[in-house]
Structure 1
C-alpha cells in the first residue's frame, strides 16, 4: 500500500480522535512510524470500546491494516554525489542567517512575519 493511502487513513483517524475523544495526534509521524501508529490504534480502540463507537474502531482497523501491509516501493533518495551543492554563502552545518529586509521588501513583511 502506498504512503499516500496510509497518510490519508492517519489523517481521518486524527480528525476522528480529535472530534470524539479530544485527543491530538501527529498525523505525519503516524504515517511514517509504525510504533507510534500502533499506539494511536491502541488508544483509538480503547476509546471506541468504552464509547461503543464502531466508526472509530473501523478507522483504527484500517490504519492497522496499513501498518502490517508491506510498504510500496516509493521513490528512492538521491545519492549524495547527485545532490545540488548548498547555495553560495551557506556553509554545510552552519545555520542560515536571517534575511535582511530591503526597502522594497519592508512593505510586504512586518518584522519577520509574512
Structure 2
C-alpha cells in the first residue's frame, strides 16, 4: 500500500471519528507515529459505531501490519469475573485533551 493510500485510510478514520465522537485528530501523524496510531485505534473502538470499528480494524491491519485474525481478537472487550464486559471503559490515556 502506498503512502497516499495509508493517508487516505487515516483520513477516513479521522472523519468518522470526528463524526461519531467529536474528537479532532491528525491523520498525517496517525501514519507516522505508531504510539499515536494505537491510541487512535483504541479510541475508535470505544466509539461504539460499526463503521468506526471496521475502519479501526482496517487501519490497524494496514498501518501496524497486524493480520486480520489478530485484529479481530484484540477488538473484543475484556470480560469481568461474572462474564460481562466492564461497565466503564478505561480512560483515554495520555493523549486525552491533547490530540490535534
**What is aligned with 2:86?**
none
Q: CA RMSD in A?
A: 1.5
Q: Is 1:65 aligned to residue 66 of structure 2?
A: no
State which structure, 1 or 2, has the greater radius of gyration over its C-alpha atoms: 1
One of 30, 49, 52 as aligned partner of 1:56: 52
Unaligned runs of 5+ in 1: 71-114
Count residues with an aligned counterpart: 66
1:17 positional shift: 0.8
Could you give the per-residue CA deviations for residues 48-80 of structure 1, whole angstroms, max 9, x where no partner exists? Answer: 2xxxx211100000110112229xxxxxxxxxx
**What is aligned with 1:107?**
none
4+ aligned runs moved over 6 Å, structure 1: none
Unaligned runs of 5+ in 2: 67-100
TM norm structure 1: 0.54
**What is aligned with 2:29?**
29
Residues 89-104 of structure 1 correspond to what in structure 2 (within 5 A)?
A: none
